[in-house]
Amino acid sequence: MSIIPAHYRAGLRRRPDLRDIATRQEPVCASKAAYDRILERHVTELSALQQLHYASGRCALLIIFQGIDAAGKDGAIRHVMSGVDPQGCEVFCFKEPSAEELRHDFLWRTTCRLPERGRIGIFNRSYYENVLVVKVHPELLEGQLPLGPQPSSKAIWAGRYRSIVEMEEHLARCGTHIVKIFLHLSKGEQKRRFLERLTEPDKNWKFSAADVHERKYWSHYVKAFEQCIENTGTTAAPWYIVPADDKESARLIVSQIILDRMRRMTMGYPAQSGKRRRELKAMRKML
């Protein structure tokens, strides 16, 4: 089965109905051996493109992973980016904000981690948590809003969507390419993965009581993700909705999406001036 990234790109300014979008599709590969071969090929090409990207140093790439708990964000990052040179790539995992982070605007803590030109930045969760988790639990807004007359709930979320879109458009104008991936997991598969974490001793550390608690808000999260994708998907920073029940297929789709984006980036090794070429020639003679 061929992977066409455009098939997973969400429509712009249209709310997806996640209940009607499959969380599992026809397997990309017929066997584990075929999966290993394709993933290795993707990883090898990503590594070569990342080296060119690093040498070119003219733009940055930001990859954002969002998804419900146990959607496979960690595994996708670990497997897909396994061949990338650590010097040219940084991964940041954004969990519950610290007291210092809460004293700033909601974009501050992630803005500090944006990739510089020539580098790839990967956000495992991101500023989108502030229109997802915080929207599901609006009590978390306490202390985040300025004093004075409080805007309506609708105005708060509209303002945050606008801040995100404007920030991403600014980044795009300044040379940062953005790929946003939503790993679309079913409630049944999440339960299976949670039970696996409870059963297998080497996975117990991944589980917390909060995981069970948050499952009670499943429908609220679905609605929050739908509204988020509708209001923040743009031409410059589109969303990709990736079926996540099958981990191996999801990883191949993710790697193909990133490959497709990097292939379309304008990159090239720095041109050498005549003076520089003469210097290199002289140094060659000295060896």
- CATH code where residue 239 lies: 3.40.50.300
Would you state the pLDDT for residue 212?
A: 87
First-to-last CA distance in the chain? 52
Backbone angles phi, psi at 219, to 5 degrees: -65, -30
Measuring CA to CA, which residue among 28, 138, 116, 124 is closest to residue 71? 124
Q: Do 203 and 215 form a contact (C-beta atoms < 8 A)?
A: no
pTM as predicted = 0.93
Q: What is the mean pLDDT of the chain?
A: 93
Structural domain including 197 reads: 5-286
Q: How much of the chain, in percent, has pLDDT values that exceed 70?
A: 100
Measuring CA to CA, which residue among 36, 60, 121 is closest to residue 86? 121
- Calpha distance 154→138 (Å, rounded): 12
What is the average pLDDT across 144-170? Answer: 92
Per-residue pLDDT tens for 172-225? 999 999 999 999 999 999 999 999 999 988 888 878 888 889 999 999 999 999
Q: How many domains does the structure of the chain reveal? A: 1
Query: Does residue 1 carry a pLDDT above 70?
Result: no
Would you state the pLDDT for residue 264?
A: 95
Binning pLDDT at 50, 70 and 90, where does residue 283 land?
confident
What is the average pLDDT across 231-254? Answer: 97
